[in-house]
Structures are given as structure tokens and as C-alpha cells.
Structure 1
Amino acid sequence: MPAARRTIPFAQSAPAVEEALRAYYAKHGILPSLSELLEALQSHKITSKGTLAWIIDRLEKAGIVGRAPGGRLKPGWNFAGFPIGRPVPAGVPDTGDTMPEERRSIDAWLAPNPLITRLAPIRGDSMVDMGLLDGDTAVYEVRQHADVGEIVYALIDGEETFKLLACDDKGRYLQPANADPRYQPLRPKQSLDILGVVIGTFGRRRGRAASRR
């Protein structure tokens, strides 16, 4: 059995196993048994239950899969993770030397507190200097309090907006993040309530220009 394992290096076999696990999960909502997984991997020359169990053990240690009561596979904490490449310069290009692969779950990264995390589409350009772009989606945590300087989801005089929370001797107000003079600070005439604090944003770039034509 050890010889069979060495003939298929983990680095080559693991991606095929992960792909099969995710395809089965997307279709059925659960992970396959080892027998079902082995059947799906015939074309990848993984035919031994011992070899597959060895690969699964490595994936379990990496957090890709876990074990439910009874021993059946279940998604691990890193099941939704994606490989992270090396930092890529947006200025002067460099040599592109490789780095050891790391994985990150987008859900866990964007929403460390999922019970209070919400999403909201961004409309308008008043916060572009802080990276909030029209058409992207803001990730915010539901909170009633925020610190000055944080990006807040606020209700000012009955209208919702994303802005920087600011304060001076006149009290709290909302500050846009756009050098265009059209965007001026917003001071409440009656009320200013904090609905949440923005912790991130995300958006798709490819095809965006075409979709707006």
C-alpha cells in the first residue's frame, strides 16, 4: 500500500479529490462516502481505498474536510477556502517567485462574525476614495455604535447611506470620501442613527463595463 501512495504524489492527487468532493457537495448537499468518492476518481487513477484514505487524512488535517458522527465526511472549516498566491505588485512588476500555497475561506475572511454580518449593494460614488465602488457590495456588521473614522451604514434624517462617521464641536456628522466638490458633509437636521459598520467590500470587475452599456 505505501508504494501505491508514492506513485500518486499528494500535490497531484489532492486537487482531483477536492474537485470531486465539491462537485458532489454542490449536487447533493452532503459529502460522498469513500466508495462513492473512489468511483468518481477512477479517471484520475486513484483506485485504492487506502490511497484515498491517506489523501482524505491529509485534507482533514488541512481543514478541508471533517468527520460527522458515524465517521461520514463533512465540510471542514476550510472547505470553502481558495488558494492564496503570492502578493502581486500593482506598481513595478517583480520576478514572480513562487511561495508555499496557503488557503483562505472567503466567508470566514469577509465575515468573522457571521451572526451579525449583512450585505448591501453600493449605489453612487461618494465613497470611492475609501474603495466603496458603485455596483460593488458592502459587507457590514449590525451595530448601533461606531467610532469616529469608521465607515458606517447610517440613517440620517430617515435616509440610508454609507459614509465616514465624523465629529466636531457641532456634533456627529457624515463625511463622504470623494474629492469631487459635489459631495459635501452631511449634518443631521433631526436624527443620525448607526445601523452598522462596514468591514469590507467585494465586486466583480470582468464584464462590468459591458453590463452598463
Structure 2
Amino acid sequence: MKKRDDEYLAKLQDYYHAHHIIPSHAKIAELIGMSKRSASKFIERMVFAGYLGKAPDGRAVPENNFFARSIVGVVPAGFASPAEELLGDSISIDEYLVDNPSSTVLVKVDGESMIGAGINSGDLLVVKRNANPPVNSIVVAMIDGEFTVKYLRKGEQGMYLEPANDAFPNIYPETDLEIYGEMTGLIRKVH
């Protein structure tokens, strides 16, 4: 990639976020402030780098790398350390959180029964559909006809669900407990 390609790619990503489409070559030229010929070369570099692909009609389309986000380092949650960026490394959210796209869904949390596990109301759970997750995992389950997210536990009376908030009781199935899937990740929008 050329020196300013990261800057041009960022403008294209922002445009895509706002409009959900990759613009025409002419609009890309206008967007990044260059001639149509230079914009075409930029697009070719992005195709070669795996950020863009070509649709059958020749229009540019986003590829997986287009949605990747830069990893700029590791930040300690304890004592401060010198700031240092690891430029060039990037990963997509799917690549990081999703092992099997066809069996993975997002589930929005509503309630406070899992705050002790770091799960807040409004968070999105990354859930892998799995009817037989390991005991002690966090699951989305249907218990007696109601969906909930809790720890899956096994006791003397069989399987039950345990919240991560002392204000809520354990839930033992009266008739049935059906596991929808296992939580594999968490997405939280801070602001």
C-alpha cells in the first residue's frame, strides 16, 4: 500500500458506514481528493490487499479486511506502562469473536441478573448455538417457556440456572430446560 492509502481507506470506511455501499469510482475520486485514474489505482491496491473485491458488474465491494480494526497494542489494567502502538496488525470483530458464523447469533441483554459476571443490560452477547454446552458456562436458555441468560449449573436435583447477582434466585425448571446456546463473547457500547 502507498503512504496515504490508510487515510483514504479510512474515508471509504466512514462513507460505507454512513451509506452502506461502496461508492462509484468517480465518487471515490471525489471523496479522497484525487483523479479518477488515481482512484482506480487506489481501488486496485485495496483489491490486492484484500480490503475490496469486485462485483460481477465491476463495482467495488467490501471484503473481510475492510471491516478489520487495528490492534494498537495491549493496555494494562493495573499499573501504567509506556504507550506504544503496534501498527499494521488488525482483526475483524467476527474473526475475534466468531468461530462458526452459521451457528452464531447476537442476543441483547435486558436486565441485571448477570452483572456479577460483567454482563450489563444493553450488552450484546455473542452466542454460539449449542444445545449441550459445558456445565458452568454462561448460556442463553429457555426455561419453562421463558428466555434468560444465566450460568448453567448441575446440582442434586439436576440442571438449573444460576444468576450472577445475589438479588436474583437460582432457577430450577418446573417442566423443561432447553439450552439455546453458549455465550462466547460480549459486545458493549460504552457511550
Q: State the TM-score, normalized to the length of structure 2.
A: 0.82
Where does residue 148 of structure 1 map in the other structure?
Answer: 135
Between the aligned residues of both structures, percent identity stands at 32
Does the 8 A contact of 2:15 with 2:22 survive in 1? no
> Which protein has the larger Cα radius of gyration, Structure 1 or Structure 2?
1
Counterpart of 2:187 in structure 1 is: 202
Which residue in 1 is equivalent to 2:12? 20
Which amino acid in the other structure matches residue 139 of structure 1?
V
**How far 1:48 moved relative to its partner?**
6.5
Alignment partner, residue 36 of structure 1: 27
The 8 Å contact of residues 51 and 66 in structure 2, kept in 1 or not, is answered as yes
Distance 1:160 1:24, change over 3 A: closer
- CA offset digits 1:13-56 (Å, max 9, x no partner): 432244136516743x54334343223332xxx3372x444433
* Stretches of structure 2 lacking an aligned partner (at least 5 in a row): none
Greater Cα shift, 115-124 or 132-141:
115-124
Residue 135 to residue 26, structure 1, CA distance change in 2 (3 Å)? closer
2:2 equivalent in structure 1:
10
- 5 Å-filtered alignment, 1:94-173, equals 94-173=81-160
The letter of the residue matching 2:35 is: T
**Whole-Å separation in 2 of the counterparts to 1:158 and 1:36:** 52
Conserved? CA contact 1:14–1:55, under 8 Å: no
Report what 1:89 is aligned to: 76
Aligned partners of 1:110 and 1:199 also within 8 Å: yes
Structure 1 unaligned segments of length 5 or more: list them: 1-8, 207-213
1:75 Cα offset (Å):
0.9
Alignment correspondent of 1:190: 175
Instruction: Report the residue type matching 2:123 in the other structure.
Output: D
- Listed one character per residue, the Cα deviations across residues 56-89 of structure 1 (whole Å, up to 9, x for unaligned) are 3332233211122354321111222222221112
Are 1:69 and 2:56 counterparts?
yes
Q: Judge conservation of contact 2:159–2:172 (CA < 8 Å) in 1.
A: yes
Query: Quick one: distance in 2 between partners of 1:10 and 1:48?
Result: 17
User: How far apart in 2 are the matches of 1:26 and 1:112?
Assistant: 28
1:174–1:21 CA distance, 2 compared to 1 (3 A): closer
